[in-house]
Amino acid sequence: MAANMAICHIKKNLTALRQYPRVALNNIRDLPEAFKAQHRKGRGRGSGRGKTSGRGHKGQGQRNTKPRLGFEGGQTPFYLRVPKHGFKNIYKMHYRPLNLNRLQFFIDSGRLNPNAPITMYHLWRSGALGGRVKDGVVLLGGGTTWFQAKVDIEVTKASKTAIKAIERQGGKITCAYYNKLGLRLLLKPEKFEGKRIPRRARPNTKLMEYYTSVENRGYLADPDELEKARQLTYQLENEVD
């Protein structure tokens, strides 16, 4: 019974569809209020938008001139009301960071030889720095517990933690200054083949204190004092262990 009623209902719907006009381009149109009617301005007062075309009399709105970006009508703009924060130091040195755990990884993988002195040239060529070296390399103490290699390494700067970790294993670390030309000569010596090798530049007055300090293991410090400091660090660190 239910099946017969369903079939009858379908037949009625199909019959109704046959009687409706076919959909064609000449009988389709938008739904009412589907689009907002276009208002033509300036076409007579009878339209309600004639004369001044809804702009009013004179002034900025009538003349279609807009103020510059950030103009607040004459009052002090926002970017002058708020205080300034910091500045960009054009003399800031940008060092490529290198952590001890990454240094240990490259030694274990055979890309760095711990039995030979390691300079920034070897670090850059091995891929340990992972990017552009602008003003030098700073050795950081990240992953100190993983570092077990005895190395003789030269970098631009080093943290106190990194210095202790290197010398605890009986190694040697030296912080040396290179200007941009000297760093280019160190990293890319092939660029200077057949040319006069420039003299190594000395650090400026501000950096001289750092590179003459025994505590920072500067290359301009007293060699005897450096050796004493290394031996003392080695003894103290191993006594603690």
pLDDT band of 62, cuts 50, 70, 90? confident
Residue 39 forms part of a structural domain: no
Beta bridge partners of 172: 152
Residue 207 forms part of a structural domain: yes
Residue 145 per-residue DSSP state? G
pLDDT band of 161, cuts 50, 70, 90? very high
pTM above 0.85, yes or no: no
Given the DSSP bridges, would you call strands 137-140 and 157-158 parallel, antiparallel or unpaired? parallel
Residue 159 forms part of a structural domain: yes
Residue 34 forms part of a structural domain: no
Res. 217: pLDDT tops 90: yes
Q: What would the pLDDT profile of 65-80 be if each residue is shown by its tens digit?
A: 888 988 999 999 998 9
Q: Which domain holds residue 100?
A: 96-239
pLDDT of residue 236: 87
| pLDDT greater at residue 86 or residue 129 | 129
Residue 182 forms part of a structural domain: yes
Structurally, the chain folds into a number of domains equal to 1
Residue 110 forms part of a structural domain: yes
Res. 2: pLDDT tops 60: no
Residue 210 forms part of a structural domain: yes
CA angle, residues 66, 72, 75, in degrees to nearest 5? 140
Residue 66 forms part of a structural domain: no
d(CA 115, CA 49): 89
